[in-house]
Chains A and B, each alone.
Chain A
């Protein structure tokens, strides 16, 4: 499966017009025609595409992801530099979404169609519909400039290196407040609606009626019995979102000045930096497969019905 994904990716990238040489020599009057030809030969771009692909596969098997066409750095190093920040922001964002969306979903389901439910719906959909980059700029303008409470962009301040350990932690967390918030705000709608709908379905099930008939208080019914069942599909969602953890939005990262995977991928595509693009796609494909596997396994662990076969 990995082979298939990589083959298709490689083919598509090479089908796109342009090559790394264009972005290097963009209509620069000092770059002669021969210089361009020389560059193409040096990158091996004049070889037939299937030869380039087989060469790439051979090296990948040795876990050699090659070097970037843009700056000659090893691709592994480039990716390793960018992943931590992206992972940090994504994981924090997911945790925050879960912490906020699950209670919203549960309470909306319990009080379905009430004023509370309806206002929650409006709230999460505002978050969903709002363009993230607009919200980001608005918040930066307000909190960063008008009030001066938060930094404008980046992940660390200019004087980061002279801070104490506590100072450094505080500095990074101050820089992450807005990115994590904006990233989470948009994701609330999906998760909370999902939980809400699942809860509604579960709350109408027979075993819930049984629990109530047994005389259990509403709290236990909702949180202990219903929620546990409603939350099972979330495991699948989390498993499928594993590859998303290493992805970032380039628009988002550009506005907040976060040196993350989103920008790396976008710049590589624009610059036709084939080794980096392929590496990111392969890692993403690999994580998708792993995530799927994890989701399957954990689902069967959590839901006895799956284990014993319904």
Chain B
């Protein structure tokens, strides 16, 4: 090629190559040679980087309904009470409380040494303000239910409040874990749209610094926190929308703390790098996964059929396959960590023979030899609905499908987008079986899930479970304050529900958090590992983010 073009092509190529190579400069610092296995005395400083797949929506605690917002709010605000490491209720903004008239009246004695992040003192007015907003019809809060049961709210003095309920409501104490908002800042604001939703003021261990939409939220330690300034100076919340990428970030120490999947826990975090830089933890999560039957469907009305199905599904195989063994069999509506859990309830064995017998008794047999059992000409077929985006439920459904085929039951699986599933199928009860999970609140009251009155469209007893005995037990459980008596009641409910099998209770998965090794002071307990987050620290020599 010879012509005038030659003269400028070559320099162009050089420039292009330079521009391309320029961004590639700068290698990542991999190993600084620090031994993180050493412990040390508590020091202030450093930052912790956590990640989430979703951004928060607002930092006004009573309006936010998503978990990302709650995670941040829990650091910025406090409730009157909180749960300690053994899952007992202990005071936070309230120093103590008196329960009168068998629980109808609660008198809270508030701390007098708490200041808002702007220096103003916290008083009973703030609690009253929060209560008013919770029951305000113009505030878009989903949490008003528990607070509408209050008959009257009296401020006795700036640090004493007397709350009277219409009747004793046992979960009331737990409901006061609700995060308290500042009256002097928010009383003139519209909580749904206030700018303080993006620059909150609270009483909590961390103060808000800034929020870059879709990217990160920064918090810094509150020097004047009533329980002592947290050791970790900064909290950086990164939004990383893809879990695969999040795990990649973990591998370059770009993230200090995240929950990992069973596969990652068992197979991908056992190498040199992870052993040197991270600690893994494992404890039961506070929720369970289940297969719910539509009890209005003829097939599932017969208790023998439900029991047979339970006997025919090998739950351990499910846990080993889907959770790689990182979970345990669920025996009812409560989790092992809860005081409502009855350890005496034993899971049914895996017994195909007994299952077939029960089905025969109920009238189901393979009369036409096609491999599928039938009754009065109708084959035993049903469809399980699951929501899109949850791999473990998908795998579980497939395994159950396979296991039930061994006793001649044909299962079909349908995956659907969440909102559609909820509004068109679950709420309208247009389903045969669904594979879902519940994340439980700390208080064991599960009235909304099992009571026969909660079967309207949009309510949680969508399987249409009706049992008068359980109904009355649920009502009692809500009204009695004495924890021992309540525990008896819930034990009974636990045993009954397992016997009746309105759900096939599947598993309680393990929570699998992984934390960078430089963070010390982590003590796994019934409540998990986060309960004493303000006491975690990094010894000076191991600190990473200085400033």
- A residues sitting closer than 8 Å to B (CB atoms) are 16-19, 22-36, 38-39, 42, 67, 70-73, 78, 81-82, 137, 140-141, 144-145, 147-150, 152-156, 158, 162, 170, 173-174, 176-177, 217, 219-220, 223, 253-257, 259, 263-264, 270, 272
Contact A35 B214, beta carbon cutoff 8 Å? no
Contact A144 B248, beta carbon cutoff 8 Å? yes
Determine if B413 is an interface residue (Cβ-Cβ < 8 Å). no
Task: Annotate B264-276 by CB proximity to A: 1 below 8 A, 0 otherwise.
Answer: 0000000000000
On chain A, the residues within 8 Å of B239 by CB distance are 257, 259
Contact A30 B137, beta carbon cutoff 8 Å? no
Q: Give the residue of A32, A73, A149 whose beta carbon is less than 8 angstroms from that of B145.
A: A32
Contact B65 A31, beta carbon cutoff 8 Å? yes
Q: With A17-B424, A34-B145 known to touch, is A148 a contact of B252 (CB < 8 Å)?
A: yes
Contact segment of B117-125, B161-169, B454-462 = B454-462
Interface residues of B in 383-432 (CB under 8 A from A): 417-420, 422-424
Contact B245 A30, beta carbon cutoff 8 Å? no
Contact B65 A150, beta carbon cutoff 8 Å? no
Q: Give the residue of B137, B423, B547 whose beta carbon is less than 8 angstroms from that of A38.
A: B137
Q: With A145-B251, A158-B236, A170-B23 known to touch, is A42 a contact of B214 (CB < 8 Å)?
A: no
Q: With A39-B140, A78-B213, A154-B215 known to touch, is A26 a contact of B418 (CB < 8 Å)?
A: yes
On chain B, the residues within 8 Å of A253 by CB distance are 241
Contact A28 B28, beta carbon cutoff 8 Å? no
Docked complex Cα distance between A31 and B24 (Å)? 50
Contact A158 B49, beta carbon cutoff 8 Å? yes
A-B contact pairs, 18 of them (CB 8 A): A16-B420, A17-B419, A22-B419, A25-B65, A27-B422, A29-B441, A30-B145, A36-B458, A71-B197, A82-B214, A147-B27, A149-B28, A153-B242, A174-B23, A220-B3, A223-B5, A254-B241, A259-B215
In the assembled complex, how far is the CB of residue B367 from the closest CB belonging to chain A, in whole angstroms? 39
Docked complex Cα distance between A67 and B190 (Å)? 13
Determine if B542 is an interface residue (Cβ-Cβ < 8 Å). no
Q: Give the residue of A16, A25, A147, A254 whose beta carbon is less than 8 angstroms from that of B142.
A: A25
Docked complex Cα distance between A63 and B105 (Å)? 52
Q: Add 16 more A-B contacts to A24-B142, A71-B58 (CB < 8 A).
A: A18-B424, A23-B419, A26-B65, A26-B422, A30-B145, A32-B448, A42-B192, A70-B57, A72-B193, A147-B27, A149-B24, A153-B240, A153-B242, A170-B22, A256-B245, A257-B239
**Cβ-closest 7 pairs across A and B:** A259-B214, A18-B419, A148-B28, A32-B145, A31-B142, A71-B57, A254-B241
Docked complex Cα distance between A23 and B421 (Å)? 12
In the assembled complex, how far is the CB of residue B517 from the closest CB belonging to chain A, in whole angstroms? 19
Chain A residue with the shortest CB-CB distance to B1 = A219
Docked complex Cα distance between A137 and B417 (Å)? 25
Contact B248 A35, beta carbon cutoff 8 Å? no
Docked complex Cα distance between A134 and B417 (Å)? 24
Chain A residue with the shortest CB-CB distance to B241 = A254
Determine if B144 is an interface residue (Cβ-Cβ < 8 Å). yes
Q: Chain B contact residues (Cβ within 8 angstroms of A): what range?
A: 35 or more
Contact B22 A173, beta carbon cutoff 8 Å? yes
Contact B197 A219, beta carbon cutoff 8 Å? no
On chain A, the residues within 8 Å of B141 by CB distance are 35
Q: Give the residue of B249, B436, B458 whose beta carbon is less than 8 angstroms from that of A153.
A: B249
Contact B137 A33, beta carbon cutoff 8 Å? no
Contact A272 B248, beta carbon cutoff 8 Å? no
Chain B residue with the shortest CB-CB distance to A143 = B24
Contact A30 B143, beta carbon cutoff 8 Å? yes
In the assembled complex, how far is the CB of residue A251 from the closest CB belonging to chain B, in whole angstroms? 8
Determine if B468 is an interface residue (Cβ-Cβ < 8 Å). no
Contact B423 A22, beta carbon cutoff 8 Å? yes
Determine if B146 is an interface residue (Cβ-Cβ < 8 Å). yes
Q: Give the residue of A18, A34, A42, A73 whose beta carbon is less than 8 angstroms from that of B423.
A: A18
Contact A257 B242, beta carbon cutoff 8 Å? yes
Docked complex Cα distance between A25 and B460 (Å)? 12
Docked complex Cα distance between A220 and B5 (Å)? 10
In the assembled complex, how far is the CB of residue B356 from the closest CB belonging to chain A, in whole angstroms? 35
Determine if B30 is an interface residue (Cβ-Cβ < 8 Å). yes
Task: Annotate B199-243 by CB proximity to A: 1 below 8 A, 0 otherwise.
Answer: 000000000000001110000000000000000000010111110
Contact A217 B3, beta carbon cutoff 8 Å? yes
Looking at B213, B424, B441, B459, the one whose CB has the most chain A CB atoms below 10 A away is B213
Contact A152 B65, beta carbon cutoff 8 Å? no
On chain A, the residues within 8 Å of B213 by CB distance are 78, 81-82, 259
Contact B145 A35, beta carbon cutoff 8 Å? yes
In the assembled complex, how far is the CB of residue A104 from the closest CB belonging to chain B, in whole angstroms? 15
Contact B26 A42, beta carbon cutoff 8 Å? no
Contact B142 A270, beta carbon cutoff 8 Å? no
Q: Give the residue of B3, B140, B142 whose beta carbon is less than 8 angstroms from that of A28.
A: B142
Docked complex Cα distance between A170 and B194 (Å)? 36
Docked complex Cα distance between A253 and B248 (Å)? 15
On chain B, the residues within 8 Å of A73 by CB distance are 198
On chain B, the residues within 8 Å of A152 by CB distance are 245, 248-249, 252, 254
Contact A42 B140, beta carbon cutoff 8 Å? yes
Docked complex Cα distance between A34 and B65 (Å)? 16
In the assembled complex, how far is the CB of residue A157 from the closest CB belonging to chain B, in whole angstroms? 9
Chain B residue with the shortest CB-CB distance to A257 = B240
Contact B27 A148, beta carbon cutoff 8 Å? yes
Task: Annotate B432-459 by CB proximity to A: 1 below 8 A, 0 otherwise.
Answer: 0000101011000010110000001011
Interface residues of B in 456-501 (CB under 8 A from A): 456, 458-460
Chain B residue with the shortest CB-CB distance to A78 = B213
